[in-house]
Structure 1
Amino acid sequence: MKRFADRLREARVAAGMTQEQLGFALGITKSSVSAWENGRETPSFRMLPELRRHLGRSLDELICGVAPGDGRIGDEPLTYAAGEASPVARNEKERALLLRYRTLPAKRRAALLDLIRPAD
């Protein structure tokens, strides 16, 4: 499965941007973009919505490797329980994340969903 750094580089190239252009659009240096693409550093959480906007990719695609409508996470297909319309958590970390999401107030759930919404 590809790493975030590889997906980021592919998205930048597909958007027709150089590291310098992406850095300028984000208000950071070319070397920061290079560090992300080489896996030495990762962007801050606050930088993710801007990456989504400038690269035209969803955060699911950039972070997890899930293309819209793909039904896969990286190389693994999403699994559904019989009669369920949503994916089933595959491990304890995913269960914990789902439980945590369900405890969020409605306003924060909406903000989180907006953050991971595919780019227009």
Structure 2
Amino acid sequence: MVGSIHERIREDLLAKERRLWTALTSADPGPEIKKMCNEEANLLFPKREVLHLYSKPSISEALKPPFHHFEEYELQEVRVIVIDLMAGTVTYKINARRGQDVFRGTGSTTWSQGSDGEWRIVVHQETLL
């Protein structure tokens, strides 16, 4: 039984991670990403201050247009680590492109499940290689 529950958690977290990256590559990611965040969430992007709901600038302010993180991306070597039935972490390598610029890095998102059953971001981190 535990195996099937963990598989479902892995599938849910992979779907949430894809939704996060779809938002990151949209023209206006702030509103969608804010909805995906736990109220204590921290977002760590390269060459930026740590963002959270109450930071200056806030997540919504920092990610508003013309923020356009990447035009396309590919996640490789994706691992989902089930911490417990209410938390998990997704780690991966990132290959991404913006215009002619190519980026390679690593990423990680830790998710927690709220009392409403929704998975929300606790910490998202990207590191350029």
Bin the TM-score by the shorter chain: under 0.3
Q: Which structure is higher in strand share?
A: 2
TM-score, normalised via structure 1 length: 0.27
When normalised by structure 2's length, the TM-score is 0.25
Larger proportion of helix: 1
The structure with the larger Rg is 1
